[in-house]
Amino acid sequence: MEGMSTIVKKVTQLVAGLIFIYGIYIILHGHLTPGGGFAGGAIIAGAFILLILAFGSNALKLKKEVKGSSNTESVAILMVVILACMALLFGAKVFFGNFAGKGNPGELLSAGVIPLYNIFIGIEVAGAILTIFLALVIFKEESSK
C-alpha cells in the first residue's frame, strides 16, 4: 500500500497525535463525562488507521503490527475477565462486584473499578478494530500480487 503526499503526511502526524490524546481523555473520563471505553478505544483505533492510510506500509510490516494488536487485545480482555473474577476474592465475593472504594463521586479517581474496566475495554476495542482493519489491508496486499 502506497502512502500519500508529503502535506497529507505532515498534517496527519499532527492530527493523529491530537486524536490519540483525545481518545485517552475520553477513556479516562468515562465515568464523569459522555464517552467511555468503547468510544475512546474506537477513537484511538481511528488515529492508528489514519496513520497507516497516510504513510502506507508493506505487508511484511503490517503483519508484525497485526501480531502486536491481536496480542494487546487478548491481554486487555483477559484483564477484564480477571478483574471480574477478582471480585470473587475481594469484598462482596460476587462475579463482577465493584469491590474497590467508591471515592468521591465526580472526581477522576472514583467509582471503584469502573475506570479500570474503562481502560482495559478501551485497549481491547482499539486492538480489535485495528486487527480487523489490518487483516483486511494485509489480505488485499497479499492477494493482489
Residues lying near another protein in the complex (CB under 8 A): 26, 30-36, 38-39, 42-43, 45-46, 49, 53, 66, 70-71, 73-75, 77-78, 80-82, 84-85, 87-88, 92, 94-98, 102-103, 105-106, 110-114, 117-118, 121, 124-125, 127-129, 131-133, 135-140, 142-144
- Rounded to a whole number of angstroms, the minimum distance from the CB of residue 31 to another protein is 4
Closer Cβ to another protein, 10 or 140, answer by number: 140
- Which residues have C-beta within 8 Å of that of residue 68, sequence separation ≥ 6? none
Q: Which is nearer to another protein, 9 or 112 (CB)?
A: 112
CB of 5 to another protein, least distance (A): 18
Written as one string, the DSSP assignment of 68-128 is HHHHHHHHHHHHHHHHHHHHHHSTT-STT---S---STTSSS-STTHHHHHHHHHHHHHHH
CA distance 50 to 56: 10
